[in-house]
Amino acid sequence: MGMDIAWQEWLGLMIRWLHVVAGIAWIGTSFYFIWLDQSLRQRQDLPEKVHGESWSIHGGGFYHAQKYLVAPERMPTELHWFKYEAYFTWISGFALLAVLYYWGAESFLMDPNRAALSPSAAILTSVGFLAGGWIAYDLLCRSVVGRNSGALIVAVFVLVVATGWGLTQVFNDRAAFLHVGAVIGTIMSANVFFVIIPNQKKVVADLQAGRDPETSLGLQASQRSLHNNYLTLPVVLLMVSFHYPVLFGGGAERGWVVIALILLIGGVVRHFFNSQHAGLTGRALLWQWPTAALLSVALIVFLSPARHHEDLAVSDDKALSIIIAHCASCHAAEPTDPAFQSSPAGLRLENLEQLRTHGVRVLAQAVTSQAMPLGNRTGMTAEERAELGSWIQKNR
């Protein structure tokens, strides 16, 4: 008896599980430490070298944290580091990218209408963006621009938006958005791996040897942490954009504007929380949410196509022949496409009844955006999309 094991599906599922959990742990600790830092309060009789303390209650007990600004007199025997959350998030993320987007490069990564790449050239391009993004970012931070925090943040913003523009010129929309997330994620984990942790190690070594640690080490690490902090919300949205053609479907012309808006919205919301944790009140907290809301409305308007009813007369036979030709090779009880053992997303499009039931989803994926057919492997034309749209509008 032969077994039909859907390896790609199973691997994808297991790695995604790990990736999501590691990411939650990383962002969770990062949010926690930002909050802890801002919640520290000074008191007259704190022990020497203690900069502030914070009390909290959780899970039935009280916690009392004290922060030493540089370091305690003597190194504690047990010191906890926080780094594996970041490393595992990146490793599992890259593995997931490989299983989904490299293994299935032709369907998931490439768009022959944008760049005529072979699958291996497309994979190299992807790796090039990840490595190149980090190198460009790191050079920026170390350049003269890096001496001014504000200017640096603007430069990093421009770099990410430009990366987004580049990616939407070579990959399909969905892969391009996911890659912007992957480039940001790579920058964030590389910050931890190449800068923050090594700097902390040097500080610890200096202290153990009785030397005064260089202040620049701490400054550099906190600059990188600040970037990571402002990038957390955009990176999460870009990762889940995968499911939302309404967001990534702007095409090669509009994609970079969408990415710029996502960075601004996420950054402004993060700024609200940073300001609030820092103890700011009143007017200092009034502008962030309204700004984020306005930008979100702008994003939605920007991405909503002007409604033009292409009112084509499309017979039932014609509609059926379109989905049979372009959808049913994958979306069937028994797909004929060798990449799939069962209907993707549990969606079957083998008859008109099914097309009617799933009309709204089909409109989103194959008419308003061009996310389906996957990788446009079946070569669906603009005219066929309009015809499919007209049939659904009339029959749903």
- Taking a C-beta distance cutoff of 8 angstroms, is the pair 248, 46 a contact? no
Q: Is residue 329 near ligand HEC by the rule CB under 6 A?
A: yes
Site for ligand HEC in 269-328 (CB under 6 A): 326-327
Stretch in the footprint of ligand HEC (CB under 6 A) among 147-155, 283-291, 303-311, 341-349: 341-349
Alpha-carbon distance of 70 to 211, in angstroms, equals 12
Among 264, 330, 332, 392, binds ligand HEC (CB under 6 A): 330
Residue (of 98, 95, 91) closest to 120 by Cα position: 98
Among the listed residues 37, 206, 337, 350, the single contact to ligand HEC using CB under 6 A: 337
Write the burial class of residue 349 (CB in 10 Å: 0-12 exposed, 13-18 middle, 19+ buried).
Answer: buried
Q: Identify which of residues 196 and 238 has a Cβ nearer to ligand HEC in the complex.
A: 238
Query: What does the per-residue mask of binding to ligand HEC show for 361-380, with x meaning CB under 6 A?
Result: xx--xx-----xxx--xx-x
User: Which tokens hold the place of 183?
Assistant: 């480039």
Shortest distance, CB of residue 335 to ligand HEC, whole angstroms?
7
Q: Identify which of residues 76 and 305 has a Cβ nearer to ligand HEC in the complex.
A: 305
Please report whether residue 107 would count as binding ligand HEC according to CB under 6 A: yes
The amino acid sitting at 363 is: L
Angle (nearest 5°) at CA 137 between 120 and 175: 35
Joined tokens for residue 379: 């070569």
Q: Which of 201, 243, 394, 396 binds ligand HEC (CB under 6 A)?
A: 243
In the stretch 51-90, what mask flags binding to ligand HEC with x, by CB under 6 A? Answer: ----------------------------------------
344 binds ligand HEC (CB under 6 A): yes
Cβ of 152: how many Cβ atoms within 10 Å? 20
x-marked contacts with ligand HEC along 169-188 as a string, rule CB under 6 A:
--------------------
Cα dihedral 230, 235, 241, 243 sign: negative
The C-alpha atoms of residue 234 and residue 183 are separated, in whole angstroms, by: 12
Cβ atoms < 10 Å from Cβ of 322: 22
CA pair distance 395, 383, nearest whole angstrom: 18
Subset of 129-168 contacting ligand HEC (CB under 6 A)? none
- CB of 376 vs ligand HEC, minimal distance in Å: 9
Per the CB < 8 A criterion, the answer to whether 217 and 199 are in contact is yes
Q: Which of 345, 379, 383, 396 binds ligand HEC (CB under 6 A)?
A: 345
Q: Which residues bind ligand HEC (CB under 6 A)?
A: 107, 243, 326-327, 329-331, 337, 344-345, 347, 349, 361-362, 365-366, 372-374, 377-378, 380
